[in-house]
A = this chain, B = another copy of it.
């Protein structure tokens, strides 16, 4: 068999059953091998940023990697921003990048680029298969790398002759290394800190402690364990700002994220003398600002790592509960589910409307940027759901992640789970092509397009640097000239859509879309 066929066989044997693709000439033998083996489902994206973003969303729901199929260095380049986001969300992805034949590369043909250099900027694992006989072995290693806890980007570069030459050997799946074991000393240290028994500083017994969660610690089980610790010790609990996903709604404790805005984050963390990090990194600003600190925690705070991201955060929390003897506590009662709101849209009103209507098991893909910052506290009483975030800050992941999440849920036999995108307009324009894949795959995706006709976040950032926007700045932050017509854009991509300017209109459209199997876009003028 040729290298391409050995690649497909190896991927399938390692449990990779979905390929997000935007192929080109150098990938035609791989596509032909897919034709011979219908076990891998192919999903087409009309731009590579959609392809890689879908692979990220798939991982977050399926908990196993999909592969992407990308065309040469420039095709990979087009997908890098969402691979950057996936890396920050700690998602596992196997990129297959077709490239020039090994013997053709020295000719520097027009599409030749430094594919390995591009891959390294986002990947934990990069390899180029230089002959057909190596492809199976390399593919097995790529899947192993992608599955390594908590999830990694692995990029396999496939020169076209390695794909079409005979001599391919399918490889057995390699064992997936377990998450690094937890550190008993770290558990005891965290317990001592939480008990107020941390020795040195006078008055330390009254010190305030924050449990800061990310990764597995934000599963429903992880949150409940953290909640037990908090109840038993008086500690506070927060989610890091930089997270890929979080279980939310009824049954989960009312956990807030660290705010995005530096001043708010510094205020939120100022009172804590100790931060116990569970899968989270020390909280720092997305950006530096003149005269403001880079780090968001108190300069005198002590940081204690209960679990590093590559460790098993859930096991660490369980060990901490055991060490503390923290008793079981009932699930938090968030009070009654809110009712849908009426009138002009506000962030809080939209949040309560969502909380009223979200079906159980819904998946929210949140790229609401500035508008969505107030949504969390108003959705604690919604039906249980999963919330997906933009972890890397490169805008344009919301719609592709939503699309991939729907496909990931379907792959796990939960294709009925509704996906709701809270999507700012400026970032939606980065990857609107994802709507076409939603229509093609008939996915249960509802997009709430938050249409403020501006890069609203940048208006805030501009003022944040102490400047008053002049005509040039205003022009750079304004998307209203001409106004984007999102109903037409969605329809042009095959997705039904309607515009509304009120929360009751939004509620009606949400409810109607939840009754349909396919995608829908609500152009919500805010």
| Chain A residues in the interface with B (C-beta under 8 A) | 21, 23-26, 28-29, 31-32, 34-36, 38, 42, 44, 46-47, 49, 72-75, 77-78, 80-81, 84-85, 88, 100-101, 103-104, 107-111, 113-114, 117-118, 120-122, 160-161, 164, 242, 281, 284-288, 290, 294-295, 391-394, 396, 426, 429-430, 433, 436, 439-440, 457-458, 461-462, 464-465, 467, 469-473, 475-476, 479, 481-489, 491-494
CB distance from A150 to the nearest CB of B (A): 16
A290 touches B104 (CB 8 A): no
A146 to B435 Cα, complex, angstroms: 38
B38 touches A476 (CB 8 A): no
A84 touches B113 (CB 8 A): yes
A72 to B392 Cα, complex, angstroms: 12
A104 touches B294 (CB 8 A): yes
Given A73-B121, A481-B440, A492-B485, decide whether A393 and B458 contact each other with a Cβ distance below 8 A.
Answer: no
CB < 8 Å neighbour of A484 from B117, B473, B493? B493
A108-B281, A482-B493 known, 11 other contacts, Cβ within 8 Å? A21-B476, A28-B467, A31-B476, A32-B473, A42-B475, A75-B394, A77-B394, A80-B80, A109-B284, A110-B392, A111-B394
- Give every chain B residue within 8 A of A110 (Cβ-Cβ): 88, 242, 286, 391-393
A436 to B481 Cα, complex, angstroms: 9
Given A104-B285, A109-B284, A110-B391, decide whether A458 and B488 contact each other with a Cβ distance below 8 A.
Answer: no
A433 touches B429 (CB 8 A): yes
CB distance from A61 to the nearest CB of B (A): 22
A49 to B49 Cα, complex, angstroms: 11
- Give every chain B residue within 8 A of A396 (Cβ-Cβ): 47, 78
- Give every chain B residue within 8 A of A81 (Cβ-Cβ): 74-75, 77-78
B49 touches A286 (CB 8 A): no
B109 touches A117 (CB 8 A): no
CB < 8 Å neighbour of A294 from B103, B295, B394, B470? B103
CB < 8 Å neighbour of A113 from B77, B121, B436? B121
A258 to B126 Cα, complex, angstroms: 36
B28 touches A461 (CB 8 A): yes
B288 touches A47 (CB 8 A): no
A42 touches B476 (CB 8 A): yes
Given A81-B74, A117-B117, A287-B100, decide whether A47 and B430 contact each other with a Cβ distance below 8 A.
Answer: yes
Who on chain B is nearest to A428 by CB? B46
A189 to B42 Cα, complex, angstroms: 55
Given A23-B458, A294-B103, decide whether A164 and B35 contact each other with a Cβ distance below 8 A.
Answer: no
B484 touches A32 (CB 8 A): no
Given A84-B74, A492-B489, decide whether A288 and B31 contact each other with a Cβ distance below 8 A.
Answer: no
CB distance from A480 to the nearest CB of B (A): 10
Given A35-B471, A294-B107, A392-B74, decide whether A476 and B23 contact each other with a Cβ distance below 8 A.
Answer: yes
B479 touches A46 (CB 8 A): yes
A28 touches B462 (CB 8 A): yes
CB distance from A272 to the nearest CB of B (A): 18
B38 touches A472 (CB 8 A): yes
A26 touches B287 (CB 8 A): yes
CB distance from A192 to the nearest CB of B (A): 28
Given A100-B288, A470-B35, A484-B436, decide whether A458 and B24 contact each other with a Cβ distance below 8 A.
Answer: yes
Who on chain B is nearest to A116 by CB? B121
